[in-house]
Amino acid sequence: MKILLVDDEVELTEPLSRALTRQGYGVDVAHDGRMGGQMAAAGHYDLLILDWMLPHRTGLEICQDLRSRQDTTPVLFLTAKDTLDDRVEGLDAGADDYLVKPFELRELLARVRALLRRPVLSGTGMPSELPLRLQLGDLVLDLENQLAYRQGQAIELSEKESRLLAYLMQNAGQLLSHAQLQDYLWGEEAVQPSSNALAAQIKLLRRKIETDGSSTLIHTVYGKGYRFGEEGHR
């Protein structure tokens, strides 16, 4: 397994590179965004660990560029940017996971293992047994093309947004706990991300499918989880 680590803090990259190497991974390191972007694009890497704020080019831009070229290499942001809005922006750019500095090495290594063992799903990023088209009221989800339609307007979705929306639509009217949603999105054996990561995914999806003039579909059940559907759909 080959990992690309892009971070301008040499005092972090050197010990982290050694720790990853001791775990049996091959590790390449870049200390600025321009070189990191070139290496990622040319790469054949199994995982990218990106800092956000880098000289010349940000980790966010590197991630966005990869996803625009349909490169699905897992991306872990390792950054000091720690607000919910930062997490939303990182996930919206196509990141698979997000870890805030300072961090515990054991947690980082566990997240690396989780991302590298994530199963390869069908071409849609969905389990093959799901139907390719789901509908609830004026919302239609086209899994094959990762598109939703609401009031006739097309909405582009990321792979994770498609998976989350499909799961919510399949379980419309039911209370889905935080743990259920985390297990579905990040895998039962994966180290569970912070509650902020799930909140960021929900916020991202809401922003796309709940536009002005449309009814609310994702309802927060405070302290428990979320319920999906039109008001009164139980």
3-class SS string, 120-179: CCCCCCCCCCCCCEEEECCEEEECCCCEEEECCEEEECCHHHHHHHHHHHHCCCCEEEHH
- Give me the pLDDT at residue 231, please: 62
Q: Indicate the range of 42-51, 115-124, 183-192 predicted with least confidence.
A: 115-124
Q: Residue 149 has which token pair? A: 């339609």
Sign of CA dihedral 82, 87, 90, 96: positive
- Give me the pLDDT at residue 101, please: 86
Mean pLDDT of 113-130: 54
Q: How far is Cα 214 from Cα 46, in angstroms, rounded to an integer?
A: 40
Q: Indicate the range of 13-17, 56-60, 194-198 predicted with least confidence.
A: 194-198
124 pLDDT higher than 60:
no
Residue 5 near residue 17, CB atoms below 8 Å? yes
111 pLDDT higher than 50:
yes
Q: How far is Cα 37 from Cα 33, in angstroms, rounded to an integer?
A: 6
128 pLDDT higher than 50:
no
Could you tell me which residue, 212 or 218, shows the higher pLDDT? Answer: 218
Going by pLDDT thresholds of 50, 70 and 90, the confidence category of residue 189 is: very low
The per-residue pLDDT for range 215-225, each reduced to its tens digit, is: 889 999 998 99
- Give me the pLDDT at residue 136, please: 83
- Give me the pLDDT at residue 120, please: 40
Mean residue pLDDT across the chain: 83
Own/partner contacts of 149-158, CB < 8 Å, gap of 24 or more, are 150/209, 150/211, 150/214, 151/213, 151/214, 153/211, 155/208, 155/209, 157/208, 158/67, 158/91, 158/92, 158/94
CA angle 182, 99, 33 (to 5 degrees): 130
Mean pLDDT of 173-182: 86
Mean pLDDT of 3-20: 91
Could you tell me which residue, 165 or 70, shows the higher pLDDT? Answer: 165
Residues 6 or more apart from 109 whose CB is under 8 A from it? 19, 20, 23
Q: How far is Cα 221 from Cα 176, in angstroms, rounded to an integer?
A: 9
The per-residue pLDDT for range 71-100, each reduced to its tens digit, is: 888 899 988 888 888 888 888 888 888 888
Going by pLDDT thresholds of 50, 70 and 90, the confidence category of residue 209 is: very high
* 82: number of Cβ within 10 Å: 11
The DSSP secondary-structure symbol of 95 reads -
- Give me the pLDDT at residue 48, please: 95
Residue 40 near residue 48, CB atoms below 8 Å? yes
Report helix, strand or coil for 12.
helix
Residue 153 Rama label (left phi>0; alpha psi -120 to 50; beta): beta
Domains, the chain, in order of start with CATH, read 2-116 (3.40.50.2300), 133-228 (1.10.10.10)
Could you tell me which residue, 119 or 90, shows the higher pLDDT? Answer: 90
